[in-house]
């Protein structure tokens, strides 16, 4: 690959390679995939991660594209090594997370627990000198104090896909926090602790969904327990068809459980999972390019 003097340099981590291949078709991006060791592997026999960057091909704006799944721990080590190499080269990059790991627990319930997501973000900014962090549909609300972090909403893409499949559809958020982020009607969710949750559907929503196609719009699907619990509540309220719409489909077991019960499952390719119906590569391109124009 020849050195690109203009455009946007996009360093793609292993688990985001499915997105990097799509973005590479855009001539504005100089997409760089990580090198392999002499055994043609990215992992050493002892499990340690190997990273090699073509620093000689970097010129101008540098962005790292990372997916925090399917192996979040291995992925974070890979990301740290990349940022350490860039720091040594005195390059201050931006980072795009198609899926941000360690953000499932967004509230600390017991002493000894931690909200690791914000610690991770602060480390990227303060230690690795990351200039900007872009996150596709973050699970957490970004505080105003973290002005260099921006969420990239994907809800509209998902809703448009669902509207094409179902003409008469009502969208619901699983809780009030999600309702604020998406602008949708929200169920009442009460978290009892780090593991247990309860749901309640008020009378106005019950009237709206009876005999209708209802879509529950969530950001993360792991084991599927939350969506399956919501399904039972919606069915008991008389919903005709029930659709699950999620941004990040993290675990295959959850995908299979939800597919088996719901009338349809719609999710993005923020994580490399088979069956994704909404491609976010164009969304990533648009947000990065538009931000460049504004800056």
Q: Where are the domains of the chain?
A: 8-153+279-294, 155-267
155-267 shares the fold of 8-153+279-294 = yes
187 and 198 in contact (C-beta within 8 Å)?
no
Q: Does the pLDDT value for residue 278 go beyond 60?
A: yes
Residue-level pLDDT at 115: 74
1 pLDDT tier (thresholds 50, 70, 90)? very low
Mean pLDDT within 255-268: 97
Residue in the structure block whose two tokens are 């973000």: 121
Return d(Cα 8, Cα 153) in angstroms, integer: 22
pLDDT of residue 7: 77
Which residues does residue 186 pair with via DSSP β-bridges, in sequence order?
A: 173
CATH for the stretch 155-267: 3.40.50.2020
More confident residue, 177 or 68: 68
Mean pLDDT of the residues in the chain: 89
Task: Pull the structure tokens for residue 261.
Answer: 């019960």
User: In what side-by-side order are the strands of the sheet with 264-267?
Assistant: 185-186, 169-173, 213-221, 241-249, 264-267
pLDDT confidence of residue 169: 95
Residue 49 has pLDDT above 80, yes or no: yes
pLDDT, tens digit, 9 for 90 and up, residues 201-236: 888 898 999 999 999 999 999 999 989 999 999 999
Q: Which fold has domain 8-153+279-294?
A: Rossmann fold (3.40.50)
pLDDT tens per residue across span 90-149: 999 999 999 999 887 556 667 666 678 888 999 999 999 999 999 999 988 888 888 999
Beta strands at 62-67 and 94-99: parallel, antiparallel or unpaired: parallel
Q: What is the CA radius of gyration of the chain?
A: 20
Which pTM does this prediction carry? 0.89
What residue has token string 């997916």?
Answer: 67
pLDDT beyond 80 at 13: yes
Which pLDDT belongs to residue 4? Answer: 41
Higher pLDDT pick, 254 / 146 = 254
* Calpha distance 218→205 (Å, rounded): 17
């Amino acid at each position: 690959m020849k050195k690109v003097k203009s455009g946007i340099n996009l360093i793609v981590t292993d688990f985001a390679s499915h997105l990097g291949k799509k973005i590479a078709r855009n001539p504005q991006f100089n997409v760089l995939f990580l090198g392999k060791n002499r055994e043609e592997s990215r992992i050493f026999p002892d499990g340690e991660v190997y990273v090699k960057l073509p620093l000689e091909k970097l010129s101008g704006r540098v962005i790292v594209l990372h997916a925090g799944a399917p192996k979040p721990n291995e992925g974070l080590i890979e990301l740290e090594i990349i940022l350490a190499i860039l720091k040594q080269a005195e390059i201050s990059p931006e980072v795009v997370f198609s899926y941000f790991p360690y953000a499932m627990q967004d509230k600390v319930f017991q002493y000894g627990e931690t909200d690791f997501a914000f610690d991770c973000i602060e480390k990227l900014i303060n230690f690795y000198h990351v200039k900007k962090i872009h996150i596709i549909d973050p699970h957490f609300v970004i505080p105003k104090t973290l002005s260099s972090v921006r969420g990239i909403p994907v809800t509209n893409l998902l809703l448009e896909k669902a509207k094409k499949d179902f003409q008469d559809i009502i969208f619901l958020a699983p809780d009030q926090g999600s309702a604020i982020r998406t602008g949708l009607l929200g169920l009442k969710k009460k978290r009892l602790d780090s593991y247990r949750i309860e749901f309640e559907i008020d009378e106005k929503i019950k009237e709206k969904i009876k005999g209708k196609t209802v879509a529950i719009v969530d950001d993360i699907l792991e084991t599927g327990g939350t969506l399956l619990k919501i399904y039972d509540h919606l069915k008991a309220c008389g919903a005709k068809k029930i659709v699950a719409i999620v941004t990040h489909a993290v675990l295959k077991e959850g995908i299979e459980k939800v597919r088996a019960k719901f009338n349809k499952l719609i999710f993005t390719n923020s994580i490399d999972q088979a069956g994704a119906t909404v491609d976010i590569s164009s969304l990533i391109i648009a947000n990065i390019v538009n931000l460049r124009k504004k800056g």
